[in-house]
Structure 1
Amino acid sequence: MVYGKACHLPVEVEHKAYWAVKECISGLKGGIERKLHLVELECLRFESYEKSMLYKERMKAVHDKNIRRREFRARELVLLYNSRLRLMLGKLRTRWEGPYRVEKAETYGVYHLRHSSSPTIFKVNGHHLKLYHGEKIKSNKKVEVFLLEDAPGGEEI
C-alpha cells in the first residue's frame, strides 16, 4: 500500500497478461471441441422441446376426452352455476340457481336463458349449465309416510 492506496507491481500485471494470452491460445486449440459441445447442447435443447410438445399433446388429448359436451335445445330447463357463491359463507348451500329456460342455442356453446319470473334474456357459456330434472319426474306411485311414534312393534318405555 502506498499512501493508503493499493498498487500493482509490474510483475503481477505481466503475469495476468501472460495467463490471459495462454488461455486464448488454449481456447483456439480446443475451439473444435467447444463447437461440438455447443452443437450437442443445441441438439439436447431441441430434443427436450420436442418431448415437451409431445407431452402437452398427450395431456390435451386426455383432458379433452374427459370433457363432457353438453348440448341443450330450446325450451329445456337448465340450472346455472353461481361462481360468486364461493365468497359467501355456508358450505352446504347449493351453487346452482334456476331453473332457467333455454330460449336459443348458438354455436360454440352460447345459450340464451330466461328466468320464468323475469322477461330479460341473457347469454351464458354452456360449461356453466346442467340439465334440470325437477319437472320431468312424474310418477303415479303413492307415497306412504311412517312417523317414528307410529312405528309397528314400538313400545314405549
Structure 2
Amino acid sequence: MVYGKACHLPVEMEHKVYWALKFLNFDEALSGEKRKLQLLELEEMRLNAYESSRLYKEKVKAYHNKMLLKKDFRPGQQVLLFNSRSKLFLDKLKSKWFGPFTIKEVKPYGAMELFDPHSETPDRSWTVNGKRLKLYHGGNIKRLTTIL
C-alpha cells in the first residue's frame, strides 16, 4: 500500500525484490542461531557489568570504612558540640562548634549526656547524639563574625 492505496509492482520489480530478500535472509536457522548468540553475549555483558559494579562498590566501601575515625568518648572528657542551627544564618565565618562541654554519661547507641562546667547551674545536663560531638584538645575557640 502506498499512501493508502494498493499498488502492484511490475513483475520484474517483484522478482528483484524477492531475490534481494532471499539473499539477505539466506538461511533462517542460521540467522536464528546468530540472534540467540547475540542475546547470550548481551546477557553475559550485563552480568559482567553487575559483577564489576559490585566489586567497585565493595572496594569503595572498604576504603571509606578504613578512613573513618572511631569516636570513643568516655565520661569526663571535654568535647565540642556541633550546632546545626547555625547553618540557617548567613554568618559564613562564624564557628558552628560550641563548647567545651564535659561528658557526664555515655548512653547506649551513641547518645551522650553533656553538662557545661562553666554554667551557673552545673546540675543542668542534656542528651545529644554522639555524631554531633568531637574531642576538644584545648585552646581558645575563635568565633569570627562578618561585619556588615
Does TM, normalized by the shorter one, top 0.5?
Answer: yes
Larger RCO: Structure 1 or Structure 2 (Cα < 8 Å, ≥ 6 residues apart)?
A: 2
The superposition leaves residues 41-86 of structure 1 with CA deviations (integer Å, 9 ceiling, x where unpaired) of 1111111111111111111111111111111101222111122323
1:112 Cα deviation after fit = 2.4
Amino acid at match of 1:8: A
2:131 alignment partner in structure 1: 127
In structure 1, distance between residues paired with 2:60 and 2:127 = 34
Secondary structure at 2:81 match in 1: strand
1:61-80 correspondence runs (5 A): 61-80=62-81
Structure of higher CA gyration radius: 1
Identity among equivalent positions (%) equals 39
CA RMSD of aligned residues (A): 3.1
- Distance of aligned partners of 1:123 and 1:29 in 2 relative to their CA distance in 1, 3 Å threshold: same
Match of 1:52, SS state, is helix
TM-score by structure 1 length?
0.63
> What's the TM-score once normalised by structure 2's chain length?
0.67
Contact 1:102 1:111 in 2 (8 A): yes
Q: For residues 108-157 of structure 1, give each alpha carbon's deviation from its aligned partner in whole angstroms, at most 9, with x where no partner exists.
A: 43322234446242231x2321112338xxxxxxxxxxxxxxxxxxxxxx
Distance 1:26 1:115 in 2: 86
Structure 2: state its 5+ residue gaps. Answer: 140-148
